[in-house]
Structure 1
Amino acid sequence: MIDDDILTDRLILRLIPYAALMATEAGDIAEAARLLHLKLPNDWIEVAPLARRRLPQLLDEPDYRPWAVRAIALRATGEAVGYINFHEAPAHHEMAGREACAEFGYTIFETYRRQGYVEEAVRALMAWAKAQGARHFIFSIAPDNAASQGLAAKLGARKIGVQIDEEDGPEDVLLLS
């Protein structure tokens, strides 16, 4: 276990150090795995674009660090099955009209989907975030992403609007308070 780890029954949510994000962005999965002390599948390369976005943010916003990208790994094997992060530290969210909103982003690699990992990770990260002062959670989900739409509904999130994401296109914006 590493100090910043969040643990669940099956998962480790490991905060990715800056150097491991740099290695990920550069496509050096072996170095990222070494720095993370995890087994990273080839799918880890999917994290590179996110790493590219988060690296400058970590330099510009020191308070963002604990809210940044975490590997989702299996406790039993140390194998990464995806990642989860908040887009920024909790802040005012214009569409929600509320303070202390934290917006999620997550991915489970295809091989590991439909096993409840993302729900387990989201619940654990929300509990951690609440302890840090977050009061509301935002999910921005493509309308055709049935799995994420279902998870948000199961957690009690409600649709508050629609936005066009520059990278992902149309998204429903859902709020969980």
Structure 2
Amino acid sequence: MLETSRLVLKPLSYQQMLKYIQNDNSLEAELKLNNTSMKISSLLKDALEQSILPSVADESKDYLYSTLWTVIDKSENTAVADVCFQGEPNQLGEIEIGYGTYEDFRGKGYMCEAVQAMIAWAKKQARVKAIIAATDKINVASYKILEKNHFVKVGESDEQFNWRLVFRD
């Protein structure tokens, strides 16, 4: 678990991930949180079921690199966002970060703070040398979070910008 001045970031276990996918407030009940307005897109649900859940269940891997970390506003006792790494470090020591703020909580700086906490955690992991990310070019809010956290744009495609934050050679 990670903590900032306003937030708690809690990595979800396999069983908690199953409750997250159900999206019936059973996860909030287990975590003793107020109900939230989270919506799971079909694309995210597919990714959770086909990729994330199997990785979290794989006991040969460190699940902290694959699971969702629920971002909780301490004062509201409410989940406001999710952040994750998309697997263990590659051969270059890179991990990819992904994140999303629930619609009702956007524009309040939660994700910038949560990404900062995840960077601090990653810096303490001996195998991690850099964090990478990809953002849609039209998602200005998403790439502003990376810029505020000192990521550098390292490339682009027609639809996305690619980002990198190096903290160890």
TM range, smaller chain: 0.7 to 0.9
1:106 is aligned to 99
Structure 2 CA distance, aligned partners of 1:44 and 1:72?
15
**1:78 Cα deviation after fit:** 1.7
2:37 maps to 1:38: no
**Gapped regions of structure 1 (runs ≥ 5):** 93-98, 165-169
User: 2:46 & 2:78 partners in 1: Cα distance?
Assistant: 21
8 Å Cα contact 1:16-1:70 kept in structure 2: yes
In structure 2, relative to structure 1, the CA distance for the partners of 1:50 and 1:72 (3 Å cut) is farther
Whether 1:146 and 2:115 are equivalent positions in the alignment is no
Hey, what does 2:162 align to over in structure 1?
173
One-letter identity of the residue aligned with 2:163: L
- Separation (CA, whole Å) in 2 of partners of 1:159 and 1:173: 6
User: TM-score normalised to the size of structure 2?
Assistant: 0.84
Partners of 1:7 and 1:37 in 2: CA distance = 17
Query: Matched residue pairs, number?
Result: 161
Partners in 2 of 1:7 and 1:45 — Cα distance?
A: 25
Q: 2:129 is matched with which residue: 119, 135, 141?
A: 135
Is contact 2:14–2:57 with CA below 8 Å preserved after alignment? no
- Is the deviation greater in 79-88 or in 68-77? 68-77
- Indicate whether 1:59 and 2:57 are aligned: yes
- Structure 2: which 5+ residue stretches go unaligned? none
RMSD, aligned α-carbons: 2.0
Instruction: Report the equivalent of 2:5.
Output: 9
**Structure 1's 44 and 6: CA in aligned 2 closer, same or farther, altered over 3 A?**
farther
In the alignment, structure 1 residue 71 sits paired with structure 2 residue 70: yes
